[in-house]
Every structure is written in C-alpha cells, then in structure tokens.
Structure 1
C-alpha cells in the first residue's frame, strides 16, 4: 500500500481521474461524457475509479499470478508461447520484442477461450490466432481467476466504448460492430524483475496499443510513462483505479480525432519486482474498422491516423492484428507462420 491516500494521489496525478459511477447518475452523466471525450482527445490516457471490481477479486488474481511466476522455470516453459499458433502462453524475460529491442519482463498471455479454427487452404493467416489458451497443470485456479477477470473487465471496457460513442455524438452502439463477432481480447499477467544495469531499463519499449481500449492494474511500484508534448510523464499507481488508454482502432475509427498515445514501462531498480495486470479489448478478427461520421465541429479536428512506416495501420482487422504479433514474437512467427513469408 502507498503511504499517500488515494485522494491525495488523485490530486497529484498528471492524468485525468474519472469516476465510472457518474455515468449512471443523471446529474453527472453529461459532465462525465464531456470529460471522457476531453481525456481521450487531449491525453489518450486517464485513471478510472468507481469501476465496481472488488478488492478481494483483485487480491485473488494478484496472488495466483505471483504463484504462477514462482513456479519452477521448466513448468512455465512447458506452456511457452512458441507452442501456440494462437500467441497464448508464457514468454520469458527478453523474448518479446518492442521497437527491435527485447522487453525486460516475463508474462503469460491469455485470450478468449475458443476452439481453433480448422485450417483451410488459402485461408488468411490471422485465422490461426483464434484458439485455446495454455494453462499450467500445477495451478488450475489460474484458469478460473483469469477468465472471470477477463469477463468482468470486458463488461467495463464495453461500457466505456459506448460512452466514447456518446462523447463522439454517435449512437450508443455505433462501435458495437467491432465486437459483435467472436470475442478477441487479451489478458497479460506481467512480472518486471528489477535491475541495476542502466542499459536494461526497457520493461516495455515505447509503443501504442493496437486494440480498442486497455485497462491496466498496477501494483504499488511505478514504471509506466506516457509521452506528452513536454516529454515523458509518470503515471504512478493510484489505489483502486485502472489506467485506461485508447488503442489504434479508435484512432482509425475517428480518422485521428482520438489518438492512441505512446507509452512505455521503465524497469524497476535492483531488488524491486513490479507486477501488473493488463486487459486489452480487441476487435473481432473478421471485418473492417468503420469510419465514424463525426459531426463537422469534431471532424474538422480529425487529422487522420498517424502513419508509422514500421507499423502501418490497416482497416482490415485480421491483418492488422497478426502483423503486430508476428513482429513482437519472432519465435512464434518462425515456428507457426513460416509459410506466409
């Protein structure tokens, strides 16, 4: 626990703090929607409190995540991601790549628990992304806690997605087409080991999230940084909140009116271990990203999505999803996607 109260932390925060309970209060709803729109447009990041997730549920998931990372290395390696064409499972420290450099973290990636699609001649490679998760045999409780957490955070994320539609002066369900197909989501349980080596401070390199929305729980150790015009700013933990950021799909859907924001994680110092739990609401793999018909006063502020030569954005959701995963996980690419060149 922090020695600083959560209210004092909120007052000191460089990012906006929003209370989801206000969305259901007639006297506060319009103000919440307006502040949500400003946070997404101006910063792309904000803290969310009043989300309804009980501390006891969080404590259970944190505990089981720590038990997972404490397993013998051979048990974690038995479910390494390289086994899975669906990009599910364990990744050891240094085996995920961001901006051509290895990230100093270990993690387990958990998606929607779905059957693998039958391989068809000529089928697009992204169809291989759907499939079951890998679970450690000696920790069966991980499956129940992780899937229950994902289900709850999916509900919160969809509530926010519909609130975003309202902030953009669209019908509440204007963006539901992104999530109407087979659910595509990702839960990452992450452990950042500390280091004294200043050359090994990339917990996660600078990047934008590729999906729709990200909901992040941090433990009491900082490390998350957000890029602003004045430089990198810290987004320290605030008890009882998630850090929320928009992904590139919302940037595409709004023609750049909303912008995904670069962020990174700095490795903690030697002797400190940082844990985090990240939930990513992603669009269903089939279909395309719509272009919302923004009203003129918003549309004139839309500058088009940013173009990164190393990470071009596609409106086709499946190709957009697979390119990032192949780039980040070359071992999976080599083992399961060598046929696509």
Structure 2
C-alpha cells in the first residue's frame, strides 16, 4: 500500500516533513483532499471513454505519426518502452500552441494538438481538467520546495510556459490464459517533474519498484490520485529525491482499464533549479545510467523519452537530426 498524503496537511511543517520523507523513500503516494471537483474528474473520464468508443477510422484520422509534435492517437501496440511494445491505446495531448519557427531538437515538441472531429467535447474536457491539475501540481511543487529548505516560489520561473502532457489511455481486457506478453507499459521513469495519475476505483496493474529491485502493487484508492516524482525533480534535488521506476502489467483475464496520467513539466527550454537536500541530509547525486542519461533542461529530457517511445514519428519528421537519444 502506498502512503497517503492529504494536500491541506502540507500547509504544516509536520506535513511537509512527511512529504519529503515519503518522496525520498518511496517516490509514490496517494494524494487525497486535493480539491479537484468530481465533475471535472467525471467529465474527463466520460470524454476518454467516448474517445476510445469512436470508430477506428476517426481515431486513425489523428494518428500521432501525422504530428511532428508527438501529439495524437496511438493504436494498440503503437508505443514502445525499453524497445518493447506496450499493450495499450492512447491519445497524447499537450499545450495548444503554435510551432516555433526554425525550431531544432526539443523545441520542435511545441505545437498544436490533433483533435477528433467526431468528439468536439474532448477539447473542453481536457482544458477544464488541465486547469484543476495544474493548480494541484503547483501547490505540490511549492510545498516540496519549502520541505527541502527552499523558498515556495523556487520553481515558478521554470513553469512560465509549462510543457505539460496529458495521456488518455485504455488497457484492453485480456481473455487469454497465457502468462506472457503482459506488458501494459514497461518499466520506466517519468521524464517530467511530477505525475498525477487518475485511475478507475477498481483499477489494478500498476507496480512500483522498491529500492531492493522487487515490485509492489499500487492499486487505486477511491477519491485519491497517485502522485510520483519525475526525473526533473531528481535533478533538482541532486538525487535526494529519486524518480522511481514503475510499470503496468495486464495479467491474463484482466478487465479493460482506463488510465489518465497528467505529466506536469516546466517550459521546454527551462533549466530546472537545483535545491539539494534538507539540512542534515545527504544528496547522493542523480542516477548514473548510460542507457538513460538525465538532463537539467526539460526539453532535452523529454525529447529523449518521446523519440525513444515513438521512433516512427521521429523517422518521418526528423531525418535531418541525429538520433542522439539512443
């Protein structure tokens, strides 16, 4: 069972101290009393279900491979983690902005979304949800900063133009008995600062890696979001807070599941500020993994992640750039 943290409790010194401890030891927790209205949650869930119920032709009309900004729909098996196929379908949605002229590398991620013509209400549902989750994310970041001995506005400048990513994900049901091919999404760390995950109340399959390399189940809790640290918060704290690897398994006979992760991230060109560890604690440095280098600039970090996950998009739109992410 993951720790449970109440957002209002983080207004107290004891609550912030617990946040720092939980974040450094586990990196995942259930967030309750977050203030997001049920209406906003119901609306985004309903819109997600309506999207996945669309005819395949409507979804394929906004296939991600048509977007140089890595936005749009991926059919079942359309995304990779660690080179292996994830068993899910999804739509990726980012901030609605104009492309930057003459952009190179990570700055090419800025641009418009692809929206399904058959479901105009999706855009409004996403916008309303983004407003609520951005508020919660900023509240969490300010309290994390204070818990680590920095000022509450430490991260404000970095988030002047957030490069947030929202995914609507459907894990299809399994009817087979095979104990193989159960990768819903492979083991990975998130490339942003923090992730706020909305699951259905009976959802299972998410697992979190312990420090000893074993895995624990992280089922949904009614009324709670699941929050985890991304790689940029590990960079910001010089490794005091570690981005935790996690995965999703789709076991034999698992029911269909809906998942909506909200990846709160700074501006693409923002260099995340370093605030270190709280007084008396040791910051061990960021994870040294040649296969997954961590970058202080968010755009570089997410460019690594996006190009690895969607090589078809990369090959189509960026033949002029060396695939340095590999």
2:138 aligned with 1:158: yes
State the partner residue of 1:179.
Answer: 159
Cα deviations by residue, 1:106-140 (Å, 9 ceiling, x for unpaired): 0011111111112x2xx422111001111000100
Cα deviations by residue, 1:30-75 (Å, 9 ceiling, x for unpaired): 2211111111011000000001112232122111111100111111
Q: Structure 2: which 5+ residue stretches go unaligned?
A: none
Structural mapping, 1:13-92, within 5 Å: 14-24=1-11, 29-92=12-75
State the distance in 1 between where 2:143 and 2:279 align. 20
State the partner residue of 1:258.
Answer: 241
How far does residue 293 in structure 1 lie from its aligned partner after superposition? Answer: 4.9
RMSD: 1.4
Contact 1:39 1:46 in 2 (8 A): yes
1:225 aligned residue (202, 207, 220): 207
Q: Structure 1: which 5+ residue stretches go unaligned?
A: 1-13
State the partner residue of 2:230.
Answer: 247
Question: Which segment is superposed worse, 263-272 or 253-262?
Answer: 263-272
How far does residue 257 in structure 1 lie from its aligned partner after superposition? Answer: 0.5
2:126 aligned with 1:146: yes
State the partner residue of 1:129.
Answer: 109
Residues 293 and 313 (structure 1), Cα distance of their counterparts in 2 relative to 1, 3 Å cut: closer
Contact 1:36 1:167 in 2 (8 A): yes
Q: Size of the alignment, in residue pairs? A: 318
State the distance in 1 between where 2:276 and 2:43 align. 43
State the distance in 2 between where 1:191 and 1:296 align. 43
Cα deviations by residue, 1:84-122 (Å, 9 ceiling, x for unpaired): 11111101111110011010000011111111112x2xx
Residues 302 and 192 (structure 1), Cα distance of their counterparts in 2 relative to 1, 3 Å cut: same
User: Helix, strand or coil: the match of 2:280?
Assistant: helix
State the distance in 2 between where 1:293 and 1:16 align. 23
Contact 1:254 1:294 in 2 (8 A): yes
How far does residue 21 in structure 1 lie from its aligned partner after superposition? Answer: 2.3
Contact 2:149 2:279 in 1 (8 A): no
1:323 aligned residue (304, 310, 314): 304
How far does residue 221 in structure 1 lie from its aligned partner after superposition? Answer: 1.9
State the distance in 2 between where 1:48 and 1:86 align. 31
Structural mapping, 1:191-340, within 5 Å: 191-195=170-174, 196=176, 197-219=178-200, 220-230=202-212, 231-270=214-253, 272-294=255-277, 296-298=279-281, 301-340=282-321
User: Helix, strand or coil: the match of 2:320?
Assistant: helix
State the partner residue of 1:106.
Answer: 89
State the distance in 1 between where 2:256 and 2:41 align. 18
User: Helix, strand or coil: the match of 1:184?
Assistant: coil
How far does residue 295 in structure 1 lie from its aligned partner after superposition? Answer: 5.0
The alignment's TM-score, normalised by the length of structure 1, stands at 0.90
User: Helix, strand or coil: the match of 1:332?
Assistant: helix
State the distance in 2 between where 1:318 and 1:218 align. 27
How far does residue 287 in structure 1 lie from its aligned partner after superposition? Answer: 3.0
How far does residue 294 in structure 1 lie from its aligned partner after superposition? Answer: 4.2
